Amino acid sequence: MADSSFDVVSKVDRQEVDNALNQTGKELAQRFDFRGTNASISWSGELSVTLEADTEERVRAALEVFKEKLVKRGISLKALEAGTPAQSGKAYKLVSTIQQGIASEKAKVIAKKIRDEAPKGVQAQIQGEQLRVTGKKRDDLQATITLLKDADFGIALQFINYR
């Protein structure tokens, strides 16, 4: 019998982020406390979002609305890396990025955690921006998934291709 395996990835559904962004834009346009503040949200690249408003407080409030919408759409806030508001002319801007993939240093930390604390016979291999975890027993792999879910690596992890 071949070894069982699963992949550890950090991916975000771009369409869900886009939906959250559009919902936030509608709410910023309609909510009373955002009237007259020129609050807006838009894409500023493949995986970065720009929030704008007349005051720093309103930019932070718009970010909270965006976070709320992301959570409702099932996207972990660990995937959102929010910047700090910076004044740009008369308005304040805040650029946030959506994290995709596992950086090599994070992957090494995760692999070390698996090596040190996972059941014997479970190995992790770094494959680009994901990790492949293999083992002889499916129960050991389940225990490894639980171990990784309980640990906080600062990024959103998903477990796919469980075979």
Shared domain check, 61 and 77: yes
CB-based burial, 76-115: b 16+ in 10 Å, e otherwise: eeebbebeebeeeeebbbbbbbbbbebeeebbeebbebbe
CATH code of residue 80: 3.30.70.990
Clarify whether residues 89 and 21 are in a common domain: yes
- Which structural domain range is residue 53 located in? 14-98
Domain tally for the chain? 2
Both 46 and 110 in a single domain?
A: no
- Does 30 share its domain with 64? yes
Q: Do 84 and 115 reside in the same domain of the chain? A: no
| pLDDT string in tens for the chain (163-residue length) | 568 899 999 999 999 999 999 999 999 999 999 988 899 999 998 889 999 999 999 999 999 999 999 999 999 999 999 989 999 888 999 999 998 889 889 999 999 999 999 888 899 999 988 899 999 998 999 999 999 999 888 888 899 988 8
- Whether residue 79 is found in the same domain as residue 19: yes
Same domain, 127 and 153: yes
Q: What is the pTM of this model?
A: 0.84
